[in-house]
Structure 1
Amino acid sequence: MSLNTLVGQLKAHKNILLFALAVGLLYFVFGHYLERSSFTKLLFLWSSLCFSSYYLVKVGKNHFWWLVGIGIAVRFIFIGAIPNLSQDFYRFIWDGRLLIQGINPYLFTPQLYAANPEIGVTVSQATALMNGMGALNASHFSNYPPVNQFFFAIAALFSSKSILGSVMVLRCIMIGADIGILYFGKRLLEKLQLPPNRIFWYFLNPFIIIELTGNLHFEGVMLFFMIWGLYLLHNKKWIWAGVLLGLSISVKLLPLLLLPIFLKYFFKKEASFLQNLKIPVAFYLIVLGTVLLTFAPFLSSEFISNFFATISLWFQTFEFNASVYYLIRWIGFQTVGWNIIAVAGKSLAFVVVTIIILFGFFRKNKTTPQLITTLLLGVSCYFLLATTVHPWYVATPLLLSIFTKYKFPLVWSFMIVFSYSAYSMEGFSENLWFVALEYFVVIGFATWELFRKEKEDLKPVEII
């Protein structure tokens, strides 16, 4: 490329470059000079990034590869930064350093390690890791599934004595997963005859870049396997799609909840009910077989007890940024005088499972757009009724939404910032007015989308 050609290219893309530089500067400040307790500063940077990124996607909609380059470049701005909105990564590093020594990370907590030095295990930087993860995390058994643990082990393998080095390895994994989502998401959009640049509502979304690349949450890896699986499923390669969905579950358990929704996707009009069950039963066996295969090296009665005891905490003990549950909790305080989470959490989980099963049997999930729409509605119902909704959870409905007519997850990806108002210099204390504002806007927008008279119809796609 000649100098004149290069200059011409730069002039033609002047607006994109200016906004890219502004976005890059904002990410640099966010990643390197922000503390979670500075909510005002956090809100300003978050809002500025959302506005700038929205404009960047709009201006660059006809310059696909420029936006790809910008999306990758801004992720690398975080490469040498310690995550500043979450401390979960300390536990990731801890588990990985146990695993590369051949120690099952599900069998004892960091606190048990500290209290029993005769265990004979050495964890490099143990004190720093335990202080970083906090007493609550250190007191519980690991609940991260095996494929997740595999990536933790990779970080430990390449950097067993440096926290920052491990962070950098994990961050490269996150960036790789997002590039994979970009690739298969774009291809699936094209297959569905939807605009490929829709993928940038995920790939250039500040929420995704900050929560996944910045704060090292593994929703991105889970979604990589899921979207790859959905792409193969659309192309009638349901065997490998089942394997990938199983791997997705073994990164984060969330897709396990959504399995009933896939049932009618395989049904054919001309076949009987029993004939229609053959492929979905085989598909489910492949998915669950893959999950069991990944868990196999860790299986023991002690593992099962520890793992499910930790999982149950999310339904009976932990509460954060909830919506419907907080209303139920308030009613509980007014009627019985105490927090009814132990009962309400189980009941809401039962309601969610029932809704998902009903979605699987009674919604038309025969085309890929219909299937993804039901997956979106199912996971949204789950978060609506959950006792705990951390910000990074919204990555799943956000990615699914780009293949549908619904945009409320995009609104949610902005409003979720208000959940961070709970963290201050004085400690943790949720501002329920901010929680109410978040869900009032998100639920209000979702309701408008669901019930408006004129809706855009996605083109139907043939099923298997």
Structure 2
Amino acid sequence: MPGRLTTYLQLHRLPLLFALFSFVFYYAPAYQLERTDYVKLFTLFAALFFFCWKLIQFEKWNYRFLLVTGITARLIFIPLEPHLSQDFYRFIWDGQLIIHFLNPYLEVPNTLMENPELPIANAQELYQGMGSLSAKHYSSYPPLHQLFFALAALLGGKSILGSIIVLRGTVILADLGIFYFGRKLLKKLNRSPHLICWYFLNPLVIVELTGNLHFEGIMLFFTVWSLYLISQNKWQLAGVIMACSISVKLVPLLFMPLFLKYFGLKRSLFFYLIVGTASILLFIPFYSPAFFSNYSQTVGLWFTNFEFNAGFYNVIKHIAVSMGERPWEFIKDYGKVVPYVTLGTALFLTIQRNNKELLVLMSSMMWLLTLYYMISTTVHPWYIIPILLLGIFNSYKFPVIWTGMIVLSYFAYSQVDNKENLLLLGLEYTVVLGFIGYRIFAHLNKK
């Protein structure tokens, strides 16, 4: 046994060293880093991406090693509050409302705090932590998302940290599910199963999902599970699972038209019926006459009020403002156009591409999301993680590059007023668009 261990250490000394350095570098953003320290944050991310690349390069056929490395990196974050995001305060707030039979879609925190008998544990700390922007709006999180919040509030009791640990455990389990179904789906599609490690070991995924508790990973777990079931011709169950994905984040709704060619007209209609029925059933526990009005009002804010790390929007806004447009009016007009452009792109990809093959279908999903976030007014770093996961099935490199380049957008967090550096954003999108252009050009040349 000692001899075998010595041989293993000799054969894997460099990957083990890279893994150890990764754990040390993850410790810093987990326990020591403030998001205002941009230079340190960027340096740590650059190093972590380098280690990720070398680990996959050296150990791509040793999935157990990479799995253990990815799990260990995530466990480093377990016993602490997120440093780089305050969203978790709203998560726990909504969960506390639900376990006390209060509907999070019907009252804003500002109003609820006026009630002296509000039964929420740690109400004042949660209210102050979520920030004034969140406190004056209704909850924007879909129903299955809310049920995970309720589970965290229930199991975490009156402890904020206890609720955080439950949420973090849920996110880690979702990533393990993505690793499991992702490998199975890659094998089914005759792709190298090691590609899933570009998701599982990606620093942006680990820091933003496990560290900062964003739920893209849980949405993607249901999405990948659904796609795997589709590859097994279990499309009825896949419809139910896809509804769960939509009920965590609304993003997969964009994919629905793309299934038309894959299933054919008759079967796709049944698939849509299953997805729609299951989604409605998940929304029913929260239904009230004011629900749709409040929910649509909050979701609509992301199109017409907020801007962060925007690509084409910043260019068009600059041109519009130079022609006399007022920025606060322009974003409202622009935000109303984005859904129509996205829907038009979805219909174009539905009609023009051969989505009868699952790999092509997943490629269409990736391109649709890419276009959507390229023209969006708000692109937080964790938003592009679905593009990363969908892209690895067709070996697209630009999503991996984007997960590295989007770290440039964190510069805004180092400014008192969160003012963005347009030169850094320009660099981010120039590099990403350069890789996209290269891929398209190479594909056309091959044809």
**TM bin (shorter chain):** over 0.9
Aligned residue for 1:272?
A: none
TM-score (ref. length: structure 1)? 0.94
Aligned residue for 1:448?
A: 438
Aligned residue for 1:410?
A: 400
Aligned residue for 1:214?
A: 211
CA deviation map 1:284-304 (0-9, x unaligned): 011111111100111112111
Cα offset, 1:116, TM superposition: 3.4
* In structure 2, distance between residues paired with 1:427 and 1:126: 27
* In structure 1, distance between residues paired with 2:31 and 2:187: 37
CA deviation map 1:267-323 (0-9, x unaligned): 3xxxxxxxxx21000000111111111001111121111100001101111111111
Aligned residue for 2:281?
A: 293
Q: Give unpaired runs (5+ residues) of structure 1.
A: 268-276, 458-464
* In structure 2, distance between residues paired with 1:71 and 1:426: 34
CA deviation map 1:160-203 (0-9, x unaligned): 21111111111100100000000000000001111110110000
- 1:134 equivalent to 2:131? Answer yes
Match of 2:379 among 384, 389, 394: 389
- 1:256 equivalent to 2:253? Answer yes
- 1:12 equivalent to 2:11? Answer yes
Aligned residue for 1:244?
A: 241
SS of the residue aligned with 2:290? Answer: helix
Mean alpha-carbon deviation: is it higher for 446-455 or for 408-417? Answer: 446-455
Aligned residue for 2:141?
A: 144
Cα offset, 1:429, TM superposition: 0.9
* In structure 1, distance between residues paired with 2:331 and 2:358: 37
Match of 1:235 among 232, 235, 247: 232
CA deviation map 1:403-435 (0-9, x unaligned): 014211100000010111001252311111111
CA deviation map 1:368-403 (0-9, x unaligned): 111001011011111011111110011100000110
Cα offset, 1:233, TM superposition: 0.6
- 1:352 equivalent to 2:342? Answer yes
* In structure 2, distance between residues paired with 1:18 and 1:176: 26
Instruction: Give structure 1 regions of 4+ aligned residues with deviation exceeding 3 angstroms.
Output: 453-457
CA deviation map 1:102-145 (0-9, x unaligned): 1111111111111333xx43111111111211100111100100
Mean alpha-carbon deviation: is it higher for 436-445 or for 326-335? Answer: 326-335
* In structure 2, distance between residues paired with 1:373 and 1:103: 41
Aligned residue for 2:325?
A: 337
Write the mapping of 1:145-294 to structure 2, written as runs, cut at 5 A.
Answer: 145-267=142-264, 277-294=265-282
* In structure 2, distance between residues paired with 1:223 and 1:183: 12
* In structure 2, distance between residues paired with 1:309 and 1:326: 24
SS of the residue aligned with 2:81? Answer: coil
Mean alpha-carbon deviation: is it higher for 6-15 or for 234-243? Answer: 6-15
Cα offset, 1:326, TM superposition: 1.2
* In structure 2, distance between residues paired with 1:11 and 1:301: 66
Q: What is the aligned residue count?
A: 445
Q: Give unpaired runs (5+ residues) of structure 2.
A: none
Distance 1:155 1:186, change over 3 A: same
Instruction: Tell me, yes or no, if the aligned pair for 2:175 and 2:221 is still in contact at 8 Å.
Output: yes
Distance 1:318 1:425, change over 3 A: closer
Give the partner amino acid of 1:27. Answer: Y
CA deviation map 1:221-253 (0-9, x unaligned): 000000000011111111011111110000000
* In structure 1, distance between residues paired with 2:339 and 2:180: 34
Aligned residue for 1:361?
A: 351
Give the partner amino acid of 1:392. Answer: W
Distance 1:372 1:456, change over 3 A: farther
TM-score (ref. length: structure 2)? 0.97
SS of the residue aligned with 1:364? Answer: coil
Cα offset, 1:4, TM superposition: 2.7
* In structure 1, distance between residues paired with 2:443 and 2:225: 33
Aligned residue for 1:318?
A: 306
Cα offset, 1:455, TM superposition: 7.3
Mean alpha-carbon deviation: is it higher for 315-324 or for 172-181? Answer: 315-324
SS of the residue aligned with 1:115? Answer: coil
Instruction: Tell me, yes or no, if the aligned pair for 1:405 and 1:456 is still in contact at 8 Å.
Output: no
Distance 1:17 1:283, change over 3 A: same
Instruction: Tell me, yes or no, if the aligned pair for 2:152 and 2:163 is still in contact at 8 Å.
Output: yes
* In structure 1, distance between residues paired with 2:25 and 2:94: 32
Instruction: Tell me, yes or no, if the aligned pair for 2:310 and 2:375 is still in contact at 8 Å.
Output: yes
Give the partner amino acid of 1:343. Answer: D
Give the partner amino acid of 2:318. Answer: W
Distance 1:32 1:218, change over 3 A: same
Aligned residue for 1:270?
A: none
* In structure 1, distance between residues paired with 2:301 and 2:399: 26
Instruction: Tell me, yes or no, if the aligned pair for 2:15 and 2:54 is still in contact at 8 Å.
Output: no
Distance 1:455 1:393, change over 3 A: farther
Give the partner amino acid of 2:40. Answer: K
Aligned residue for 1:433?
A: 423
